């Protein structure tokens, strides 16, 4: 579910490094919001990241 329906941004993986340089896996999750938007002329709920909402790639339904 952590994927933007507009740009496709999803979870990315990396390595957490502690002070003593021990390494373990970690994830970065995008800031996904469930919004009501106009898609093909009809309002429906989609998942959009905050960057797509800020840059007006999503037309919000009232």
Domain segments of the chain as ranges: 12-55
Q: Say if CB 17 and CB 25 are below 8 A apart.
A: no
Average pLDDT over the chain, rounded to an integer: 95
Taking the C-alpha atoms of residue 9 and residue 23, their distance in angstroms, rounded to an integer, is: 25
3-state secondary structure of 35: strand
- Dig out the tokens for 47 from the structure: 């998942």
pLDDT tens column, 7-36? 999 999 999 999 999 999 999 999 999 999
Residue 20 DSSP class: T
Res. 62: pLDDT tops 90: no
Question: Of all residues in the chain, what percent carry a pLDDT higher than 70?
Answer: 98
Place of tokens 């002070």: 19
pTM of the full structure: 0.80
């Amino acid at each position: 579910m952590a994927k933007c329906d507009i740009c496709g941004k999803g979870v990315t993986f990396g390595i957490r490094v502690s002070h003593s340089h021990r390494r373990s896996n970690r994830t970065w999750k995008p800031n996904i919001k469930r919004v009501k938007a106009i898609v093909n002329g009809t309002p429906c709920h989609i998942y959009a990241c905050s960057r797509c909402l800020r840059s007006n790639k999503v037309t919000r339904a009232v």
